[in-house]
Amino acid sequence: MMKKTAKRLIKEPLLLFKLREELTMTDVATMAMLLLWSVLNIVFNSQLPEASTNILTNIILGTFICVLAGGDRLHGGRIFHLSRMFYVVPVIYVIYRQCLQLVRVINPHDYDGTLIAWDLSIFGVNPTEWMYQFSTPLLTEYLQFTYMCFFLIPIMIVYELYRRGDDKAGFEFGFNMAFGFYLSYLAYFALPAIGPRFTLHDFATLSTELPGVFLTEFFREQVNAGGGIVPGTPNPQDVVNRDCMPSGHTMMTIVNVFLAFRYKVSMRWLAFVIGLSLIVATVYLRYHYVVDLMAGAAFAVISLLVAPLVQRAFARFGFTRAKEYTTRHRG
């Protein structure tokens, strides 16, 4: 069905024009980021070994989004509907990985010293060192678990919205998620940093200083792998992602919890408790400075305020805001 849809879109130019009316704001924002990243990959091609692969990937993803939108217009049905609600999850990760490559090239300096100085000037102590006095294996286990719930909260929300049949809220939520993530990625270019587990603490002794009970070490290894650190890396501080400032975990958790209450999700109070614990965990587990969290909270507010303005602006150009799908899309 995907192949037939793609061929029909190419053969019928009018459908390509009408496609604009079918694109959701998540589609528009995602394709804008893919375009921006492609331009930057071209500009810094000589410094990015994976530039050609990135550009080709972005072209394929952009085409895929158009095919999904076209298929939804021509055919509808559950496959296209579900794909349009959830495709952004893996695409956000692709955009994130390219962002980290670009940050190293465009702003190769680390600003941890500046962030440490800001924390000290505000609190008089390094918060991660101060919190160490409260550490216990059980608390570490709990906070490491909640830290890993970062992606569970939005999945829980969108699943309930889908089960309700509230597609309008589902697509609005998807756009807020995409817009928030993309905004945080752009912010990473300003003050790249690796975090206190490398600068204020000895990364090699983290497991002995903050031991857990059962799953902490496994979860910690998954976080390390996601940050670019594989077991046995001799100098992990050299390869880890520069994505501390602002704290995306704080920013997107606040956005998630706010929207959970806006849409009256049944598990909104559970999301609140997990989300609050997650934010505390970012400092307790030494992933972030507190100023990272403060910036993340500020960007969460900015994202929630600006996203509707962006929707209205693009609506003037014929793009949909957050399409309210009818039952035909469920097939």
* 252 or 27, higher pLDDT: 252
| Residue 26: band (very low, low, confident or very high) from pLDDT cuts 50, 70, 90 | confident
Per-residue pLDDT at 329: 38
If you average pLDDT over residues 264-286, what whole number do you get? 95
Domain ranges in the chain are 1-106, 111-326
* pLDDT value at residue 15: 47
Percentage of the chain exceeding pLDDT 90? 62
Q: Which residue has the higher pLDDT, 232 or 29?
A: 29
Position with higher pLDDT, 129 vs 14: 129
Looking at per-residue confidence, does 231 or 255 come out higher? Answer: 255
pLDDT for residue 251: 97
Contact 236, 181 (CB under 8 A): no
* Confidence (pLDDT) at 2: 52
User: How high is the pLDDT of residue 104?
Assistant: 92
How far is the C-alpha of 309 from the C-alpha of 307, rounded, in Å? Answer: 5
CA 287, CA 281: separation in Å to the nearest integer?
A: 8
| Mean pLDDT calculated for residue range 277-302 | 97
pLDDT of residue 327: 33
- Contact call for residues 125 and 133 (beta carbons, < 8 A): no
Summarised one tens digit per residue, pLDDT across range 123-180 is: 999 999 999 999 999 999 999 999 999 988 998 898 898 888 777 888 888 889 999 9
pLDDT tops 70 at residue 21:
no
> 23-33: b or e for each residue (b if 16 or more CB lie within 10 Å)?
bbbbbbbbbeb
Give the mean model confidence (pLDDT) for residues 65-82: 69
Stretch 61-71: mean pLDDT: 82
Question: Mean pLDDT, to the nearest integer, of 12-23?
Answer: 57
| Whether pLDDT at 284 is above 80 | yes
Report the candidate in 110, 100, 111, 109 with the shortest Cα–Cα distance to residue 48. 100
State the burial class of residue 308 (Cβ atoms within 10 Å of its Cβ: 0-12, 13-18, 19+): middle
Q: What's the pLDDT score for residue 313? A: 77
**pLDDT number for residue 275:** 96
State the pLDDT confidence band at 73, using cuts at 50, 70 and 90: low
Q: 92-117 pLDDT, tens per residue?
A: 999 999 999 999 999 999 999 999 99
Tokens of 288: 């972030």
pLDDT tens for each residue of 304-327: 999 888 877 777 766 654 443 333
How many residues comprise the chain? 331
Say what the pTM is: 0.86
Predicted pLDDT at 96: 94
